[in-house]
């Protein structure tokens, strides 16, 4: 799991069956702290961990069986927070609010954090099954007396959860499959799938709170999909706009006959009070299992909605990643477009929430992980870049969690590899804005640096250097990490940048290049690091920052 916001990135994973571990970085996701233990290593197995980040606070939610009596499968949800400004973990908070711990099994705690004014609210959504006595297994022992979906809310940053509201009481025969909670200010949206309407035919349901989780707006939850089996769904919320993408399959659960398989969308522009009819995307319908893993993102302005999905094939026939887009709140969708040339699995779309017209799309290939960036809300896509050479055959996990850090304009991801029984957690990423050193060679040279996609509206980009990577916070109240050491070379290049020598004029697309350094003589063995950063001379404000690029002669 990975999450990022402002100047904090967090990665969390379950180590073995007992420990929940985490590591932290700034918004770049380049250098990570030593790992810490979030859930202590007592014998109780842990499951279904969740992670979210708001500013300098990371919130962890999970369930474990510490309250289970012998032979029992009872499980209890817990929450813990980490404050990056102090480096401290909070105490664990148990979420039951009156339910008997030994008689309750909990599934899939999902967390969301949202700042309302100066208050950090944390919402945790869980599914509880309540038994009259400790449950022994899923098929024997006492029968559940209640199956409830509950929203726990904290108004003090996750330290206490005095508010517990039951979202829905499900039929005891219904199976709940997936959960999501999204928070936008006072609005809290809860989505889930269950098969109450027909065995194994999962439908999407929605409930909304407009007062931060105190009450719910609808007398009963709204069923959003009909006559289908939802295999997977994704949702994005931006202000009053809500977009869902679902993998909808109609099949006979006994014979296995598939009547259709498709990617459908539903869109609301009134905070979820009403939704458009379920609409099948162009080119995303078949009479066999052909589609999977839809992902949806809404642009910051709400003007564009993008959907990506895995289309066709298995591991031997190389499925691809397809894409469609709507600019009229889901009334019409563009024709299906192929985004990958060499296969693709498990696409993940992410939109920049800060107001920039930027999106990223990441996916897994059998030869590595890829990410592509859009600078126009998904209307067009830059060529993909490989951010890891790990593959499925090296034990990588297919679903690659991905997030976008608006402060650094940085895509960050995490994944696992397994070798010789050892699982390793990795992180990597990319930035759309790049610099390319050109003409740096031993001896006489006229080198320059090309800058691309610094499209933040600034008219110039400075190119700075240091002999080694290091740490330097940008001045004028910015505070972002540049990644260079404040050595003599850094001071010299800063002077050259301010004087215009190492400054690249940028066009409307954010592209430009520095002038050639005529007469330069570069020695063999010279190594240094370069960074590009855009700048507004009128307001003294910095904009986009590139990754650190190393030059070795």
Between 34 and 139, residue with greater pLDDT: 34
Name residue 223's beta-bridge partners.
205
Residue 219 neighbours by CB under 8 Å, 6+ apart: none
Poorest-pLDDT segment among 72-81, 253-262, 275-284, 519-528:
253-262
Rounded to the nearest integer, the mean pLDDT of the chain is 90
Domain endpoint, select from 200, 223, 246: 223
pLDDT on residue 197: 85
Task: Give the three-state DSSP class for 298.
Answer: strand
Same domain for 272 and 376, yes or no, is yes
CATH code of the domain in which 136 resides? 2.120.10.10
The pLDDT of 145-151, averaged and rounded, is 96
pLDDT on residue 137: 67
Same domain for 302 and 180, yes or no, is no
The pLDDT of 133-160, averaged and rounded, is 88
Q: Is the pLDDT of residue 392 over 60?
A: no
Same domain for 507 and 529, yes or no, is yes
Q: Which bin fits 516, alpha (ψ -120 to 50), beta or left (φ > 0)?
A: beta
Domain count, the chain: 3
Same domain for 130 and 11, yes or no, is yes
pLDDT on residue 316: 47
Question: What range does the domain containing 59 cover?
Answer: 1-223
Q: What percentage of the chain reaches a pLDDT higher than 70?
A: 95
Same domain for 468 and 451, yes or no, is yes
Same domain for 533 and 421, yes or no, is no
What is the per-residue pLDDT across 302-335, written as a single tens digit (0 to 9) for each?
A: 889 999 998 876 444 578 899 999 999 999 999 8
The pLDDT of 152-166, averaged and rounded, is 97
**Buried b or exposed e, range 229-240, using 16+ CB within 10 angstroms:** bbbbbbbbbbee
pLDDT on residue 387: 82
What is the per-residue pLDDT across 500-553, written as a single tens digit (0 to 9) for each?
A: 999 999 999 999 999 999 888 999 999 999 999 999 999 999 999 999 999 999
Q: Is the pLDDT of residue 1 over 80?
A: yes
The pLDDT of 370-396, averaged and rounded, is 80
Domain endpoint, select from 432, 457, 477: 432
Same domain for 128 and 264, yes or no, is no
Same domain for 383 and 412, yes or no, is yes
Q: Which CA distances in Å does 228 have to 28, 194, 496? A: 42, 12, 64
What is the per-residue pLDDT across 456-493, written as a single tens digit (0 to 9) for each?
A: 999 999 999 999 999 999 999 999 999 999 999 999 99
Q: What percentage of the chain reaches a pLDDT higher than 90?
A: 69
């Amino acid at each position: 799991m990975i999450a990022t916001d402002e100047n904090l990135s967090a990665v969390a994973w379950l180590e073995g069956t007992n420990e929940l571990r985490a590591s932290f970085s700034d918004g770049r996701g380049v250098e990570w702290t030593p790992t810490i233990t979030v859930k202590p290593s007592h014998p109780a197995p842990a499951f279904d961990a969740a992670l979210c980040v708001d500013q300098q606070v990371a919130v962890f939610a999970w369930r474990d069986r510490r309250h289970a009596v012998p032979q029992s499968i009872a499980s209890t949800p817990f929450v813990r927070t980490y404050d990056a400004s102090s480096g401290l973990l909070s105490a664990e908070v148990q979420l039951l609010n009156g339910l008997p711990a030994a008689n309750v099994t909990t599934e899939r705690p999902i967390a969301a954090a949202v700042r309302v004014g100066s208050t950090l609210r944390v919402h945790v959504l869980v599914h509880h099954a309540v038994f009259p006595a400790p449950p022994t297994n899923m098929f024997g022992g006492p029968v559940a007396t209640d199956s409830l979906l509950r929203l726990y809310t904290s108004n003090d940053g996750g330290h206490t959860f005095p508010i517990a509201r039951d979202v829905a009481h499900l039929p005891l025969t219904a199976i709940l499959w997936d959960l999501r909670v999204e928070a936008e200010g006072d609005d809290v949206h809860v989505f889930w799938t269950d098969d109450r309407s027909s065995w194994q035919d999962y439908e999407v349901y929605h409930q909304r709170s407009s007062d931060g989780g105190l009450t719910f707006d609808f007398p009963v939850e709204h069923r959003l999909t009909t006559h289908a089996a939802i295999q997977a769904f994704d949702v994005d919320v931006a202000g009053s706009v809500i977009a869902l993408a679902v993998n909808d399959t109609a099949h006979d659960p006994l014979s296995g006959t598939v009547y259709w398989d498709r990617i459908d969308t539903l869109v609301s522009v009134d905070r979820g009070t009403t939704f458009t009819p379920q609409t099948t995307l162009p080119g995303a319908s078949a009479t066999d299992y052909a589609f999977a893993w839809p992902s949806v993102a809404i642009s910051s302005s709400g003007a564009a909605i993008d959907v990506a999905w895995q289309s066709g094939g298995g591991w031997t026939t190389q499925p691809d990643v397809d894409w469609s887009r709507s600019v009229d709140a889901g009334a019409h969708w563009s024709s299906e477009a192929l985004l990958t040339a060499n296969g693709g699995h498990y696409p993940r779309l992410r939109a920049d929430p800060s107001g920039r017209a930027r999106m990223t799309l990441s996916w897994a290939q059998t030869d590595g992980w890829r990410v592509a960036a859009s600078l126009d809300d998904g209307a067009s896509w830059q060529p993909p870049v490989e951010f890891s050479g790990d593959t499925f055959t090296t034990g990588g996990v297919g679903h690659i969690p991905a997030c976008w850090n608006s402060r650094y304009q940085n895509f960050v991801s995490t994944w696992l590899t397994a070798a010789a029984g050892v699982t390793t957690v990795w992180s990597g990423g990319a930035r759309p804005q790049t610099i390319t050193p050109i003409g740096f060679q031993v001896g006489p040279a006229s080198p320059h640096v090309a800058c691309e996609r610094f499209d933040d509206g600034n008219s110039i980009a400075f190119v700075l250097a240091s002999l080694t990577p290091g740490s330097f916070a940008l001045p004028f109240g910015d505070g972002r990490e540049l990644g260079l050491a404040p050595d003599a070379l850094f001071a010299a290049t800063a002077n050259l940048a301010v004087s215009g020598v190492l400054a690249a004029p940028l066009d409307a697309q954010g592209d430009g290049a520095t002038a050639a350094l005529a007469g330069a003589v570069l020695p063999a063995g010279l190594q240094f690091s370069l960074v590009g950063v855009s700048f507004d001379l009128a307001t003294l404000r910095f904009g986009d920052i590139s990754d650190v690029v190393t030059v070795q002669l």
